[in-house]
């Protein structure tokens, strides 16, 4: 849980609703408003994901992967407003999985602060990646 | 919490954390891993990491040895954990109300 470049937070929750319903609550701007905030969502790879929560923080990232009713991946950060955590827009990654179970949906959220592989390559560290991966236990 | 978040948001600092995760590494040796970054800039990154509690430092003669403090990231995890606990509880309430009005 406190690895440098792997999972920071993982949570699982069972919801008494079908995956189709839960999916809509992640991808429909009118519905995400009911639990997160006013949203500007373009749910396709590369599409915008911007959510203004009631507390004032603005989350901004982009959708990376969508498998209808099963999986949503998006990048996650906050716009630099007063009191916002210093995680820049798009700098962390959230993976959401929806699994049907006896008519309910098991929702798992995995939020990671990932190591930036591209940055590692640019700075000449590609040769060390296998070592790093071993050290990180992956 | 803010300090730790700011510290890990930077790719160079994440690389430093990786270099010190398996044991103590001297400041000079760390600097040699970043040929494109000036020595003072590397020192500044180390200071940010130390201030955030993500690395521990101890002197050894005229060297300064750094090692990873995994507990330093716990505040970040706790913050995100709380965020998702609150969000998911509201998601559950909203979705269940729609399914079973």
- The string of pLDDT tens digits covering residues A85-125 is 666 777 788 999 999 999 999 999 998 865 443 333 333 33
pLDDT score for A132: 34
ipTM confidence score: 0.77
Tens of pLDDT, residue by residue over B17-51, are: 889 988 899 999 999 999 999 999 999 999 999 98
- How many CA atoms within 13 Å lie on the side-chain side of A21? 20
**B9 vs A3, A5, A91: nearest CB:** A91
What are the percentages of helix, strand and coil residues in chain A, rounded to 5?
Answer: 20, 40, 40
β-sheet with B55-60: strand ranges across: B25-26, B63-68, B55-60
What residues contact A48, with CB distance under 8 A and at least 6 apart?
Answer: A40, A41, A42, A60, A62, A63
Whether the model clears a pTM of 0.90, i.e. scores above it, the answer is no
What residues contact A41, with CB distance under 8 A and at least 6 apart?
Answer: A27, A28, A29, A32, A47, A48, A49, A50, A51, A63
Residue B91 has pLDDT above 90, yes or no: yes
pLDDT score for A16: 96
Tens of pLDDT, residue by residue over A2-33, are: 455 555 788 999 999 999 999 999 999 999 99
Which H/E stretch holds residue B14? helix B11-20
Contact B87 A107 (CB under 8 A): no
**B80 vs A18, A111, A124: nearest CB:** A111
pLDDT score for A115: 45
Question: If pLDDT is split at 50, 70 and 90, which confidence band does B75 have?
Answer: low
Contact A107 B88 (CB under 8 A): yes
A137 has a chain B CB within 8 A of its CB: no
The closest alpha carbon to B39, from B49, B29, B51, B48, belongs to: B29
Which residue stretches of chain A are H helix? 19-27, 29-32, 117-122, 129-135
Q: How far is A85 from chain B (nearest CA, A)?
A: 6
Among B50-54, B59-63, B93-97, where is mean pLDDT lowest?
B50-54
A8 interaction partners in chain B (CB closer than 8 Å): 73, 76-77, 80
B22 has a chain A CB within 8 A of its CB: yes
Contact A36 B98 (CB under 8 A): no
Per cent of chain B over pLDDT 70 is 92
**Domain spans of chain A?**
7-136
DSSP string covering B26-52: EHHHHHHT-TTS-HHHHHHHHHHHHHT
Helix B11-20 to helix B39-51 angle (10° resolution) is 80
Contact B11 A116 (CB under 8 A): yes
CATH code linked to domain A7-136: 3.30.530.20
Q: Are A112 and A8 in contact (CB under 8 A)?
A: yes
What residues contact B85, with CB distance under 8 A and at least 6 apart?
Answer: A11
Tens of pLDDT, residue by residue over B63-74, are: 999 998 877 766
Per cent of chain A over pLDDT 90 is 54
Q: Are A52 and A78 in contact (CB under 8 A)?
A: no
State how far the Cα of A56 lies from the Cα of A84, in Å rounded to an integer.
9
DSSP string covering B53-90: TSEEEEEETTEEEEEE-GGGGHHHHHHHHHHHHHHHHH
Q: How far is A51 from chain B (nearest CA, A)?
A: 12
- The radius of gyration of chain A from alpha carbons, rounded to an integer in Å, stands at 17
Other C-beta atoms within 10 Å of A122: how many? Answer: 12
Among B36-45, B75-84, B87-96, where is mean pLDDT lowest?
B75-84
Among A17-26, A61-70, B34-43, B78-87, where is mean pLDDT lowest?
B78-87
């Amino acid at each position: 849980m406190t690895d440098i470049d792997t999972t920071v937070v993982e949570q699982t929750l069972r919801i008494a609703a079908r995956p189709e319903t839960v999916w809509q609550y992640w991808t429909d701007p009118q519905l995400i408003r009911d639990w997160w905030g006013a949203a500007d969502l373009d749910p396709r790879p590369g599409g915008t994901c911007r959510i203004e929560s009631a507390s004032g923080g603005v989350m901004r990232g982009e959708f990376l992967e969508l498998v209808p009713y099963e999986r949503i991946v998006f990048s996650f950060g906050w716009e630099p407003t007063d009191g916002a955590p210093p995680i820049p827009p798009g700098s962390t990654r959230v993976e959401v999985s929806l699994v049907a179970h006896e008519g309910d949906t098991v929702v798992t959220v995995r939020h990671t602060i990932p190591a930036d592989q591209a940055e590692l390559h640019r700075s000449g560290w590609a040769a060390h990646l296998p070592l790093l991966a071993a050290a990180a236990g992956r | 919490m803010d300090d730790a978040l700011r510290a890990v948001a930077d790719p160079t600092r994440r690389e430093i954390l990786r270099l010190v995760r398996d044991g103590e590494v001297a400041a000079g040796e760390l600097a040699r891993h970043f040929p494109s970054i000036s020595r003072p800039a590397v020192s500044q990154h180390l200071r940010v990491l130390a201030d955030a509690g993500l690395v521990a430092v101890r002197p050894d003669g005229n060297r300064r040895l750094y090692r990873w403090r995994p507990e330093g990231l716990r505040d970040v995890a706790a913050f995100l954990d709380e965020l998702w606990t609150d969000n998911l509880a509201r998601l559950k309430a909203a979705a269940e109300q729609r399914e079973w009005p």
